[in-house]
């Protein structure tokens, strides 16, 4: 996915404006090799073979193209990532301005997936029935396996977007850290669910899944960007903030789930 060929058309009223756009998408701190690769992707004048076209904000653009404002270029990046998720990895891997927002988008998406999974697998704990007992007996293994593998998947995607080597061998230390942390947060989530009656523990449980995934993702983002991850204190601070946000997201997801069941 990350190595998919891509062509980005740049359209501007002058050579200076085109140069400004090129410098933004392929900044000077890029190595010479990376700047050459970026130049092969950025096509002056655009054309029908381009996957996306970006127009300087001073000129009219087609409806399916994107506008580039030199005063706020990050807005263009956000709009492209929202509209063309299929191009997120190759854009982030090759063009630096896409990297951090793409990684943060991946982290939020996968953290939300893990929170939703915790909610759906915990529903039998709230409304038990004989038919659900065999399914619930395997909950611990299935939850831990799914959430851990989804975090490993996230590690692969973040590495791809960060222009880093991808794979089990290449990322063995990051994967070992993810696996080692899986059982700690899982034990905590089960304890919270058990202590709060009538399913009130669902929200903390999903919040923990969200926060744990979010903290892992941000630490990986820094590792691949700067060469080192979070300290223990930084990880704790990120986790605390993400936990509160995760509980809010879980509350909304649970409300939507109950509404759909009622209707």
Write out pLDDT tens, residues 180-224: 766 565 555 555 554 444 445 678 888 888 988 998 899 999 999
Distance CA 122, CA 201 (A): 9
Q: How far apart are CA 25 and CA 39, in angstroms?
A: 9
Given a cut of 90, is residue 143 above it in pLDDT? no
More confident residue, 34 or 66: 66
Among 96-105, 110-119, 133-142, 159-168, the least confident range: 133-142
Please check whether residue 221 is in contact with residue 104, taking contact to mean a CB–CB distance below 8 angstroms. yes
Across the chain, which distance is largest between two alpha carbons, in Å? 72
Residue with tokens 């399914």: 135
> What is the model's pLDDT at position 134?
43
pLDDT-derived band at 240, boundaries 50, 70, 90:
confident
pLDDT score of 126: 46
Domain ranges of the chain: 8-94, 98-262
Q: Is the pLDDT of residue 13 over 60?
A: yes
Quick one: which of 30, 33, 162, 166 has its CA closest to 100?
Answer: 162
pLDDT at 172 (0 to 100): 86
Measured distance CA(124)–CA(118) in Å, rounded: 11
Beta carbons of 117 and 151 less than 8 angstroms apart: no
H/E stretch holding 66 reads strand 66-68
Its pTM stands at: 0.81
Of the pLDDT bands very low, low, confident and very high (cuts 50, 70, 90), residue 135 is very low
Pairing of strands 52-56, 8-11: parallel
3-state secondary structure of 113: helix
């Amino acid at each position: 996915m990350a190595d998919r060929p891509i062509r980005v058309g740049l359209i501007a009223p002058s050579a200076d404006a085109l140069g400004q756009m090129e410098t933004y998408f392929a900044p000077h701190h890029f190595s010479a090799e990376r700047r050459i690769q970026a130049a092969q992707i950025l096509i002056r004048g655009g054309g029908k073979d381009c996957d996306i076209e970006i127009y300087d904000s001073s000129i009219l653009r087609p409806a399916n193209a994107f506008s580039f404002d030199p005063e706020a270029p990050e807005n263009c990046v956000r709009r492209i990532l929202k509209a063309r998720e299929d191009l997120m990895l190759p854009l982030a891997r090759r063009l630096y301005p896409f990297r951090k927002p793409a990684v943060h988008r991946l982290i939020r998406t996968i953290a939300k997936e893990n929170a939703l999974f915790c909610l759906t697998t915990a529903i039998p704990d709230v409304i038990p029935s004989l038919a659900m007992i065999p399914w619930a007996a395997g909950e611990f293994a299935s939850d831990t396996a799914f959430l851990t593998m989804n975090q490993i998947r996230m590690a692969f995607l973040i590495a791809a977007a960060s222009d880093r080597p991808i794979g089990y061998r290449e990322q063995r230390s990051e994967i070992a850290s993810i696996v080692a942390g899986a059982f700690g947060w899982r034990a905590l989530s089960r304890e919270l669910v058990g202590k709060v009656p009538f399913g009130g523990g669902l929200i903390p449980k999903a919040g923990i899944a969200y926060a744990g995934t979010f903290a892992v993702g941000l630490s990986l983002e820094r590792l691949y960007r700067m060469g080192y991850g979070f300290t223990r204190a930084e990880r704790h601070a990120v986790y605390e903030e993400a936990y509160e946000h995760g509980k809010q997201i879980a509350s909304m997801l649970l409300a939507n789930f109950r509404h759909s069941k009622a209707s």
